[in-house]
Structure 1
Amino acid sequence: MDRFTIRRETEADISVIREVTGKAFTGLSLRGYSEQAIVEALRDADALTLSLIAVDGPFVVGHVAASPVTISDGTQGWVSLGPVSVEPKFQGRGIGSALVSRALDQLRESGVGGVVALGEPEFYRKFGFTQGEELVHPGFPAENFFARPIRDSRMPTGEVSYHPAFRQAAKNA
Structure 2
Amino acid sequence: MDYQILAERPEDAALIDPLLDRTFGPERMTKTVYRLREMLAPVSGLSFAAIDPDGELLGSIRYWPILIEGKPAILLGPLAVEPRLQGKGIGKALVRHSLREARRLGHAIAAVVGEPEYYEPFGFRPATAYGLILPGPVDPRRFQAQELATGALDGLRGLIARDERAPAGGPAVRAVAARRRA
Band the TM-score falls in, shorter-chain normalisation: 0.7 to 0.9
User: Runs of 5+ in structure 1 lacking a partner?
Assistant: none
- Asked if the contact 1:64–1:84 (Cα under 8 Å) also holds between the matched residues in 2, the reply is yes
Q: Distance in 2 between matches of 1:120 and 1:70?
A: 22
- Asked if the contact 2:36–2:161 (Cα under 8 Å) also holds between the matched residues in 1, the reply is no
User: What amino acid sits opposite 1:162 in the alignment?
Assistant: R
Deviation of residue 163 (structure 1)? 4.7
User: What amino acid sits opposite 2:86 in the alignment?
Assistant: Q
Q: How many residues align?
A: 165
**2:145 aligned partner:** 147
Structure 2 vs 1, CA of residues 47 and 93 (structure 1 numbering), >3 Å: closer, same or farther?
Answer: closer
User: Runs of 5+ in structure 2 lacking a partner?
Assistant: none
Q: Distance in 1 between matches of 2:42 and 2:95?
A: 18
Greater shift after overlay, 146-155 or 83-92? 146-155
**2:47 equivalent among 24, 44, 51:** 51
Greater shift after overlay, 114-123 or 155-164? 155-164
- Aligned Cα RMSD in Å? 2.8
Q: Distance in 1 between matches of 2:31 and 2:106?
A: 33
**2:62 equivalent among 60, 65, 82:** 65
User: What amino acid sits opposite 1:54 in the alignment?
Assistant: A
Identity value in percent:
28
User: What amino acid sits opposite 1:128 in the alignment?
Assistant: G
**1:86 aligned partner:** 81
Structure 2 matches for 1:1-173, cutoff 5 A?
2-26=1-25, 28-31=27-30, 41=38, 45-49=40-44, 50-58=46-54, 59-72=56-69, 74-76=70-72, 78-131=73-126, 132-133=128-129, 134-139=131-136, 140-155=138-153, 156-163=156-163, 172-173=179-180
Structure 2 vs 1, CA of residues 119 and 170 (structure 1 numbering), >3 Å: closer, same or farther?
Answer: farther
Deviation of residue 18 (structure 1)? 2.0
- CA offset digits 1:27-57 (Å, max 9, x no partner): 652535997x997x55xx4343321000122
TM-score under structure 1 normalisation? 0.82
- CA offset digits 1:64-122 (Å, max 9, x no partner): 001110112x323x100100010101101011111011010000000001100011111
Greater shift after overlay, 112-121 or 131-140? 131-140
